[in-house]
Amino acid sequence: MRTSTYGIVALLAFAGTAFAAEGNNAGWERPAENQIANLPSLQRGARNFMAYCSGCHSLKFVRYSRLAEDLKISDELRDQLLVKPGAKFTDYIVSSMPEKDATEWFGKAPPDLSLTARSRSPDWIFNFLTTFYADPASRQTGVNNLQLPGTAMPHVLSSLQGVPRLKAVSHESAAAGADRAGAEPAGESGHSNSPFEPGAQGSLTPEQYDNFVRDTVNFLQYASDPTQLERQSLGVWVVLFLLMFTGIAFLLKKEYWKDVR
Amino acid sequence: MATVIEGKGGFRAWLNKRMPVDQFVADQLTGYYAPKNFNVWYFFGSLALLVFVMQIVTGIFVTMHFKPGEATAWNSVQVMVREVPYMWLIQPMHAVGASFFFVVVYLHMARAMLYGSYKAPRELLWIIGMLIYLALMAEAFMGYVLPNGNMSYWGAQVIINLFGTIPGIGPDLVEWIRGDYGIGDATLNRFFSLHVIALPFIIALLVMLHLVALRQVGSNNPDGIEIKEKLGKDGLPIDGVPFHPYYTVKDIVGVGLFLTLFAVVVFFAPTFGGLFMEPPNFEPANPVSTPDHIAPVWYFTPYYAILRAVPDQKIGALLMAASVVAFLFLPWLDRAKNKSIRYRGAASKILLGTFFITFVVLMWLGLKPADGIYVLLARIFTTLYFLFFILLPFVSKADGNGPVPDRVTYHAH
């Protein structure tokens, strides 16, 4: 390696360091830890989405047929469990709620979720769905959310999770998104650093609920970029080919250049 | 110029009688002598050409499925990547290609600055190169606006409004560019036309002129010594090798390395952590919902940081324009006798090194919100940025005149 090579490497390394992502963790934030290659998780996520989300939220760029094909769901199961009454299996997944009514009921139509995992992130959705808490100040829904304070969305999953209460100490700071809860001692519910204490009970344990959300997030990550697995598996071969190509090109170059003095 | 054996008969002779194919190859490739001491920095010229061709080819396919316009653009991109075979690969190649184009072009420019390639007799070569860079910026900006994502919308809003700071004609000019009172259907349709027809043609023409000018003056090299001044008995440069086959086979190695890196990003990290494709652009344009903070794509952020470093928007816009245009004057600001940084003193090395670091730091600052420490840093580094151009004439005059070797530095492998 010559100085010039070092020069480029140094310049790129410097740029890389400058741009390296900085942590911006507000203490209560947790990684989703979903695994996009986990097919059963994706299938459960699709089921969860259709059961709990699709009443209000659409996936307007995803067709039932494509979803079933990618997630290896049989035609029978697809038609029985996924496709909404009145829809064809080749249709896009659209919400059952007319946009006008939705705007009237919630003040804002529930957003399409096709790309939320890319515009926000899987972690963001995971934290959104796990940080609803009882908030008497919210007249509309009776709940609030740490990830998206003042959200118009009611706690749709309260029958599963219950409705946690914010710990008194961390209430204000956490709701303000401040970096406090991380210093709290381990809570009883779910994970350490939890800013919550149990409120009304749901049908799932905290772990089961996390897994439920994890599967749903996983599915939304798939929906945001349905070809990502195919892309990565093809990518391995492309990169291997290119490395081989480069190697041969290098030997060719060496052969030609050996008589340059 | 090498003489061409026209062939005794057959198709080749027939062809050469009607079109100077062999003569062209002899002039441009086998008879074009390039210095034998090129290092890795010299890969980026051919790579820029490669990316340009790749952008055209992927662009042809994206254009087949893209529907310009306010109501259709965003949806058509989503539908093409999800439903048209292999567009999940080709569309990201086009989007990521834009970022790689700038990586390559910035390194190509850095090379010219390191080895004084802009100095006489290559001033015009440098200026044509800078015009390519300007056209490329316009091309990339419009390409970024076309999909009509939320960052496209707000980025376009900020950039186009800059023209409004021009005294007198500003507000009318902005309206004329947009074709509307806001960024609307008219804006997106004209940007499509410019992005797909006008600018690619202009860039192709400029690239051709860039190569014609290069053939006239010949390539510079890391030592900054003119190889044409040391001719052998055969009248050919002693320190030169024919471009083909020597640099064609060498550039293929560069192509291989480049495509490997490119494939790693396209297949495994197409958004590159939100740097090549910004998260807000996965939401459609929304005139009532501003992204948390608006930042252009990374390749524009050095200039954006300069713009925001100044409290007064008019002066900020002026400085921003100056920061781009300043490059055009490098051939005359640099008054050293020697071209290459290798044969200049420590002051020159520190000056140029500081400039490279400043450029990257400004790039990073442009992505940050303009508050607190970032504003102060942006002001410091904006000052350093312009200090480079102000000090260069004096520093280069003072310590760029040492002895240079007679022949280029080359170690046979």
State mean pLDDT over B277-288. 93
Q: Is residue B333 predicted with pLDDT exceeding 60?
A: yes
Phi and psi, residue B39, nearest 5°: -110, -170
Instruction: Please give the pLDDT value at position B85.
Output: 96
Residue B288 forms contact with A (CB below 8 Å): no
Q: Which of B363, B367, B412 sits opposite A261 (nearest CB)?
A: B412
Position B326 confidence tier, pLDDT thresholds 50, 70, 90: very high
Tell me: cis bond preceding B245? Omega within 30 of 0 counts: yes
**Structural domains in chain A, sorted by start:** 27-226 (1.10.760.10)
Answer whether B90's CB lies under 8 Å from B61's CB: yes
CB within 8 Å: B250 and A61: no
Instruction: Please give the pLDDT value at position A139.
Output: 78
Q: Is residue A251 predicted with pLDDT exceeding 90?
A: yes
Q: Is residue B34 predicted with pLDDT exceeding 80?
A: yes
Position A22 confidence tier, pLDDT thresholds 50, 70, 90: low
Q: What is the pLDDT of residues B7-23, one digit of tens each?
A: 567 999 999 999 999 99
Q: Which of A4, A8, A252 sits opposite B222 (nearest CB)?
A: A4
| ipTM, 2 dp | 0.92
Residue A108 forms contact with B (CB below 8 Å): no
Q: Taking CA atoms, what residue in A is nearest to B79?
A: A61
Q: Is residue A99 predicted with pLDDT exceeding 90?
A: no
Residue A7 forms contact with B (CB below 8 Å): yes
Residue B168 forms contact with A (CB below 8 Å): no
Instruction: Please give the pLDDT value at position B330.
Output: 98
Instruction: Please give the pLDDT value at position A141.
Output: 87
Closest CA to A193 of A176, A169, A224, A158: A169
Residue A261 forms contact with B (CB below 8 Å): yes
Q: What is the mean pLDDT of chain B?
A: 95
Q: Which of A21, A250, A260 sits opposite B36 (nearest CB)?
A: A260
Closest CA to B263 of A50, A243, A188: A243
| Mutation target vs B (from A6, A12, A17, A19; most B CBs, 10 A cutoff) | A19
State mean pLDDT over A222-239. 96
Q: Is residue A167 predicted with pLDDT exceeding 90?
A: no
Instruction: Please give the pLDDT value at position B206.
Output: 98
Q: Is residue A179 predicted with pLDDT exceeding 70?
A: no
Q: Which of A5, A62, A252 sits opposite B249 (nearest CB)?
A: A252
* Poorest-pLDDT segment among A20-34, B79-93, B333-347: A20-34
Position A190 confidence tier, pLDDT thresholds 50, 70, 90: very low
Measure A231 CA to nearest chain B CA, in Å. 6
Higher pLDDT, B299 or A181: B299
* Poorest-pLDDT segment among A85-89, A106-110, B247-251: A106-110
Instruction: Give the architecture (CATH level 2) of B32-267.
Output: Up-down Bundle (1.20)
Q: Percent of chain A, pLDDT > 90?
A: 62
Q: Is residue B396 predicted with pLDDT exceeding 70?
A: yes
Q: Which of B89, B260, B280 sits opposite A239 (nearest CB)?
A: B260
Neighbouring-strand partners of residue A143? A134
Instruction: Please give the pLDDT value at position B305.
Output: 96
Position A16 confidence tier, pLDDT thresholds 50, 70, 90: confident
Q: Is residue B229 predicted with pLDDT exceeding 60?
A: yes
Residue A243 forms contact with B (CB below 8 Å): yes
State mean pLDDT over A112-134. 95
Residue B279 forms contact with A (CB below 8 Å): yes
Q: Cα–Cα distance between B275 and A11 in angstroms, integer? A: 18
For chain A positions 151-210, those within 8 Å of chain B (CB to CB) are: none
Residue with tokens 């829904």, as numbered in its chain: A141
Q: Cα–Cα distance between B38 and A155 in angstroms, integer? A: 64
State mean pLDDT over A31-52. 95
Highest-pLDDT range among A142-151, A192-201, B59-68? B59-68
Q: Taking CA atoms, what residue in A is nearest to B110?
A: A8
Instruction: Please give the pLDDT value at position A169.
Output: 55
Instruction: Please give the pLDDT value at position A26.
Output: 67
| Mutation target vs B (from A232, A253, A256; most B CBs, 10 A cutoff) | A253
- Residue B114: its chain A contacts at CB < 8 A? 7
Q: What is the pLDDT of residues B40-93, one digit of tens each?
A: 999 999 999 999 999 999 999 999 999 999 999 999 999 999 999 999 999 999
Q: What is the mean pLDDT of chain A?
A: 86
Q: What is the pLDDT of residues B78-135, one digit of tens each?
A: 999 999 999 999 999 999 999 999 999 999 999 999 999 999 999 999 999 999 999 9
For chain B positions 172-191, those within 8 Å of chain A (CB to CB) are: none
Measure B70 CA to nearest chain A CA, in Å. 18
CB within 8 Å: B360 and A14: yes
Q: Is residue B2 predicted with pLDDT exceeding 70?
A: no
Phi-psi region of A142 (alpha: psi -120 to 50; beta: other; left: phi over 0): left
- Residue A260: its chain B contacts at CB < 8 A? 36, 241, 246, 410, 412
Q: Is residue A189 predicted with pLDDT exceeding 80?
A: no
Instruction: Please give the pLDDT value at position A168.
Output: 67
Q: Where are the domains of chain B?
A: 32-267, 300-403
Q: Taking CA atoms, what residue in A is nearest to B266?
A: A235
Position B4 confidence tier, pLDDT thresholds 50, 70, 90: low
Instruction: Please give the pLDDT value at position A177.
Output: 47
Q: What is the pLDDT of residues B196-214, one digit of tens each?
A: 999 999 999 999 999 999 9
For chain B positions 5-64, those within 8 Å of chain A (CB to CB) are: 36, 39-41
State mean pLDDT over A134-144. 88
- Residue B246: its chain A contacts at CB < 8 A? 256-257, 260
Instruction: Please give the pLDDT value at position A181.
Output: 40
* Poorest-pLDDT segment among B8-12, B177-181, B343-347: B8-12
**A145-152 long-range contacts, CB within 8 A, separation 24+:** A146/A26, A146/A28, A146/A174, A146/A175, A146/A177, A146/A195, A147/A29, A149/A175, A149/A176, A149/A177, A152/A106, A152/A107, A152/A108
Q: Percent of chain B, pLDDT > 90?
A: 92
Closest CA to B150 of B300, B286, B296, B292: B286
